[in-house]
Structure 1
Amino acid sequence: RAAAMADTAAPPPPAAPAPGLPAAPGTNPLSRKLNKILETRLDNDKEMLEALKALSTFFVENSLRTRRNLRGDIERRSLAINEEFVHIFKQVKEELESINEDVQAMSSCCEDMSSRLKAAKEQTQDLIVKTTKLQAENQRLEMKAQVADAFIAKFQLTPDEMNLLRGTKDEPITEDFFKALGRVKQIHDDVKILLRTNQQRAGLEIMEQMALLQETSYERLYRWTQNECRTLTQESCDISPVLAQAMEALQDRPVLYKYTLDEFGTARRSAVVRGFIDALTRGGLGGTPRPIEMHSHDPLRYVGDMLAWLHQATASEKEHLEAMLKLVTIQGVEENIQEVVGHITEGVCRPLKVRIEQVIVAEPGAVLLYKISNLLKFYHHTISGIVGNSAATLLTTIEEMHLLSKKIFFNSLSLHASKLMDKVELPPPDLGPSSALNQTLNLLREVLASHDSSVIPLDARQADFVQVLSCVLDPLLQMCTMSASNLGTADMATFMVNSLYMMKTTLALFEFTDKRLEMLQFQIEAHLDTLINEQASYVLTRAGLSYIYNALQQHKPEQGPLSNLSSMDSVSLKVAMAQFDRYLSAPDSLLMSQLNFLLSATVKEQIIKQSTELVCRAYSELYAAVMDPSNEYKDPETILHRSPHQVQALLS
């Protein structure tokens, strides 16, 4: 392109047109070149632009000379460049020839080595075959060794594990022992897989070996556990975690498990008996608490302290057993605990029974006997709630003492009642309760109060209440009836009301007495009716209406007018009404003296009110008879100048 540009840069002079002819624009070379140059789009011709840039590096002076020599300069530069390329490619050729020589040498060396290797391979073929066989045999033996190691690891114990299981008698049991024992059990179970394969002989031998090892291990474990249980003879004992693990392991051997529990129960039984005797006679460490025997003068506290100690001991022994058997998973663990607790507590039954019998037989009094009976019942219920009915001997002893105290208590009440009947007192002058009644009610109040505060079950308390009330109230009622049998009607009714009222107020403070209160209320109302009638008769007699009212009651219509009777004439009625008016002016003046002896003001008011109603009813009947024309009273208003309503208003 530079050369082409050189051609256009210095064009030859155009030929002159023929004279007389104009030059054709299409045939003029200069015009064509100019047009071609003018039509060239340098912006889109990258090669042209690159050529111009290269030209600008050596075409520095734009003169006529340089333009004319531009073609030669470009050709000379092109020649120099080509010569430089030839020189460089010559060096490359020489290097390639050197490399080719090296490659040829390497090829010859490789061919030589291949020949030598081929010869060596032919010579060592047998050795390679033998080596391959030996390598395969080695891999097979290594696999067998791995299988053997895995078999031994799965179906055999390590020497350390064997030493743990076969340790000496004096060597202690540790947690590692139970891990080894668990390993033996696992091997014994896993070896059953071999019995289903071609390795039955090995399986049987391993199973027999593990079975013998298990028996040896369990025997050693049982001896150690037995010795541990024999050392638990202190009043308070700590159950070690290893002992709990030992019981968990021994559960697979029911006989050894049972023997161990028996050994524990025997050791703890002697500890509990010794602790109970020490609590009775020596007290606690340093004298605190004091010996229980020091309170033998207080029967209730004496019995209560013994039972409280046993209750605490029973609960503690159950906790010890629960701690020892907490890991045992076989059925019947709770029954085992209850059975052993029953065996442990059986030893204290004899000393407990002797001491409680001494207290009961000494008859400290009905109230104390009843409190002791309730105390025994409460602890029977409480201890049975802890250990169920398994501690049969202890619970039976407590129940026997409860029944004995209850029997002597009711014997005491019966003796007291028989004494009441043997010597019946006369009612006091004020017709109040007799001293025997007051004493008996005080006794009953103390008994019921102690019963009310007891914590025995509700149904048992209700049954005892009924029996106590029957044993005391029935003789009391009979005594009061016999005591009042020689009194007059009003005196007897007053005495009985006061006595029954005292009984009722005593029972009203306690539960389960509703039926008895209802019965006493019926009897009180019966005697109240007597007093009401007596008070009404007393008023009618003192007010002058008794005889008139009786005549009115006995009169019949066929006897003629009422005014014809001698005691029912107008004059007699006016005299009686004058006396009745004096009563109306001061109704309180006509009260029986017995009413002032009543203990209850409410009862007294009730008697006065209802007796007044009877008086008003009698006056109403008399008023109706006098106002009746058939009785032929003249001016009846002058005889009875007050209507029944007026009389009722005055008396109310």
Structure 2
Amino acid sequence: MRDGLASGPLSPSTPSPPGSSALRATNPLSTKVTTVLSTSYADAEFRDALSLLDERGVSNSAETRRQLRLDVQKDVIDSNGEIIIEFGRVAEQLQRIGTTIEILNKSYQEMKSHVTAAHESTSSTLQEASLLMVQKQNVETKQQLLKALREHFVLSEDEVASLSLTSEPVDDRFFVVLAKAKKIRNDCEVLLGFENQTLGLEILEQTSKHLNLAFQKLYRWIQREFNTLNLENPQINSSVRRALRVLAERPTLFQNCLDFFAEAREQILSDSFYLALTGTSASGQEDRSVKPIELVAHDSLRYVGDMLAWTHSATVSEREALEVLFVSEGNEIARGIQEGRENELWRLMADEADAPPEFDAVKALNDLVDRDVSGAARILRQRLEQVIQTNEDTILAYKLANLLNFYRVTFSKLLGAKSVLLESMMNIESEALRQFRSLMRDHITTLQVEFQHTPSDLGPPEFLQDSLKQLTAIMKTYETSLASSGDREADFEPILTESFDPFISGCENMSKNIESPSNSVFFINCLLAARTSLAPFDFTQTRVGILQSTIDEQAERLVDNQYSYFRRESGLEPIFNELGRLTDTKEDIAKIRKMEALSPEALTAASQNLDDFLPSALMDAMESLRHLQDSKLTRDVTEEAAERFCVDFEHVEEMLIFADELAEQERMDGQVAESDESHSLRALFPRTTGEIRVLLS
């Protein structure tokens, strides 16, 4: 249609005829056309109008264009009519709604009046119901409080029966109820904090009564269990351990249980020890599966060792079992006893200074084990004392004492320093040492006669050799003992005093009755034998040093004796005595020729005697020490004496040379006339120190 309008007679591209301007001013059509032509195609309303025409399918014709406005107006009128009809329907509906609202308002007013009347008539009932609801809520709250109070502070009849009746078992339920009762007792302190303490006091009194009955029941149950307790079965011990940890809160009952247990275990261990000793039970019934210890009673050392070994094994087993029973799970018992002491009335009233010491679980365990084995310890002591008193062998007596020392140290590590068993062992060890000393003194007494006879070869006497063999056996025994390295030498000194010093003193006294040098040779031989016996052991080194010092002193006496022999047998002693006092001063040298011992005849004789002496001098000197059993010492002594002799000879040689030089100087100075008789001392005594050293080496 848009194209038709554009190509029609009214198209804007068609040229206007002349004189058209005047017509446009008065022609309505021209005005319309101008309006249409002035309308912008980009206007939205214009585009909508064109689109509407396209939808209506209007053709672009003169008829259509004439009828278009009429048709549009007709359409508008029809649309308005339809709207009016619809609004009429709406009005009818609104009228119906108004009628309905009026009915509802009327019904509402009627209901409101009924409700107001009902409210007025039920207001008192509602108030009463509200009060009842509040009362109900308060009652329910009180019921909950009462229920919580009963559950927390009151034991049920079944729980009370579980705590107090002996017919009820001591099982997990018993301990659960007991823990609940203890918690109730502790929580009663909260109730006692209020103004009204009646409830708290009543509950506390009732709970304390139930707890006392429970602990009494537990105490009797533990006693029954102790009668049949097998310490080697840990499964059985678990329930007893738990019961003991709970009973510890009653220290008095706990201590009574320990006393009862100790008495029972003491009797059991005593019977077991008697069975091990004899193979027969305390009732007299023979047990063929046991090899009696008494079968080796003839061997005292083994007999004592077996008894001590059994006691040690039983003590270790008892301690391990009781450690599992009493100490294995921390310090529950200690805490329980401490808590029980704090809660005891007489403890609360006592002064803090009088408070008992803190419970030591290890010490209590050691004391309990010591009490358990005390019965066996009494039997052991009787048997040991019998063995010690009947023994007459000195070495065996010491071995028994050393064996007792070994087990005493072992028991002290096992049970501590204070125990009945350890005290018994110490007394028995002291008895064994006394017996050893007594036997040693008796042995020395019997040897008093032998102390008067010196062997012909000046060797160690037989009694000393026997005593050293005996001492060696003792030292080997002591070497295996448990004495600490710092105290070993001091601890062994009393043994040396008893078993060594008397024999050395006897040898020393014997040497005093012998002529020199045999006395020193004899005594040195005895000391050498003693040193050889003591040297291998580290705990006798001080005594070995003393022996060596004594040997050196006696060796020095032999050196003096050998030196005297060289001086005497060489014939030079007079010359040594004369010249030994002189020095190399001119005055002393001038005196030499005037000495009688240095006269030509004396010097010639001395020189000849020296020549006769020197070839066999060393062998003859060593022959005098042939009985000395240390050849090296013999050689050292002789060589030292020879050296001293050579030193003296060297002094003589020097003095003779000085004398000859002085005489020669005097002749040259004219102090001595040529006619005076003179002689050379060195010509008369030609031996040199070098020659002497060679011949005496």
User: Which band: TM-score by shorter chain?
Assistant: 0.7 to 0.9
* Secondary structure of 2:537 counterpart: coil
2:299 partner amino acid:
D
1:219 partner amino acid:
Q
Unaligned stretches of 5+ residues in structure 1: none
| Larger displacement relative to structure 2 (383-392 or 174-183) | 383-392
1:137 to 2:135 alignment: yes
| Larger displacement relative to structure 2 (622-631 or 318-327) | 318-327
CA 1:463–1:14: 2 relative to 1, 3 Å:
same
Aligned mate of 2:381, from 340, 347, 353: 353
Shift of 1:440: 0.8
Shift of 1:180: 1.5
Residues 535-588 of structure 1: CA deviation (Å, up to 9, x unaligned): 233344454534543454478978974345555345654665566567777775
1:376 to 2:374 alignment: no
- Output aligned runs, 1:496-515, within 5 Å: 496-515=523-542
CA 1:53–1:488: 2 relative to 1, 3 Å:
farther
1:620 to 2:617 alignment: no
Alignment correspondent of 2:162: 164
Alignment correspondent of 1:309: 310
CA 1:112–1:418: 2 relative to 1, 3 Å:
same
Aligned mate of 1:228, from 201, 225, 228: 225
* Secondary structure of 2:457 counterpart: coil
Residues 408-461 of structure 1: CA deviation (Å, up to 9, x unaligned): 101122222223333226443433222221111111111122112200355764
Shift of 1:333: 4.8
| Larger displacement relative to structure 2 (82-91 or 510-519) | 82-91
Shift of 1:268: 0.9
Alignment correspondent of 2:353: none
2:303 partner amino acid:
Y
* 8 Å CA contact retained: 1:432, 1:498: yes
CA 1:36–1:544: 2 relative to 1, 3 Å:
farther
Percent of aligned pairs with the same residue?
28
Alignment correspondent of 1:295: 296
| Larger displacement relative to structure 2 (329-338 or 555-564) | 555-564
- The TM-score with structure 1 as length reference comes to 0.83
Within 2, Cα distance between the matches of 1:57 and 1:550? 179
* Secondary structure of 2:170 counterpart: coil
Shift of 1:153: 1.5
Shift of 1:356: 0.4
Alignment correspondent of 1:249: 246
Alignment correspondent of 1:150: 148
Alignment correspondent of 1:598: 628
CA 1:569–1:166: 2 relative to 1, 3 Å:
same
Within 1, Cα distance between the matches of 2:439 and 2:403? 18
Shift of 1:240: 2.5
* 8 Å CA contact retained: 1:494, 1:594: no
Alignment correspondent of 1:397: 424
Aligned mate of 2:181, from 178, 184, 194: 184
Residues 504-526 of structure 1: CA deviation (Å, up to 9, x unaligned): 22222223434423332222112
| Larger displacement relative to structure 2 (365-374 or 331-340) | 331-340
- Output aligned runs, 1:269-348, within 5 Å: 269-282=266-279, 290-326=291-327, 327-328=332-333, 329=335, 330=337, 331-334=358-361, 336-348=364-376
Aligned mate of 1:174, from 171, 189, 193: 171
Residues 17-47 of structure 1: CA deviation (Å, up to 9, x unaligned): 65999x99xxx98999799667x8x5xx7x4
Within 2, Cα distance between the matches of 1:97 and 1:49? 42
CA 1:550–1:647: 2 relative to 1, 3 Å:
same
* 8 Å CA contact retained: 1:235, 1:275: no
Within 1, Cα distance between the matches of 2:90 and 2:215? 95
Aligned mate of 2:208, from 211, 236, 240: 211
| Larger displacement relative to structure 2 (49-58 or 245-254) | 49-58
Within 1, Cα distance between the matches of 2:567 and 2:656? 17
* 8 Å CA contact retained: 1:9, 1:67: no
CA 1:596–1:86: 2 relative to 1, 3 Å:
farther
* 8 Å CA contact retained: 1:247, 1:257: yes
* 8 Å CA contact retained: 1:426, 1:484: no
CA 1:610–1:84: 2 relative to 1, 3 Å:
farther
CA 1:364–1:128: 2 relative to 1, 3 Å:
same
- Output aligned runs, 1:525-564, within 5 Å: 525-553=552-580, 561-564=591-594
CA 1:621–1:19: 2 relative to 1, 3 Å:
closer
* 8 Å CA contact retained: 1:345, 1:391: no
Alignment correspondent of 2:522: 495
- The TM-score with structure 2 as length reference comes to 0.78
Within 2, Cα distance between the matches of 1:109 and 1:605? 157
1:437 to 2:438 alignment: no
Shift of 1:147: 1.7
Shift of 1:298: 2.6
Alignment correspondent of 2:507: 480
Length, aligned pairs only = 636
- Output aligned runs, 1:14-29, within 5 Å: none
RMSD between aligned residues: 4.3
Alignment correspondent of 2:598: 568
1:522 partner amino acid:
S
CA 1:67–1:643: 2 relative to 1, 3 Å:
farther
Residues 232-269 of structure 1: CA deviation (Å, up to 9, x unaligned): 4x675656233233333333433322322211111111
- Output aligned runs, 1:114-125, within 5 Å: 114-125=112-123
* 8 Å CA contact retained: 1:155, 1:206: yes
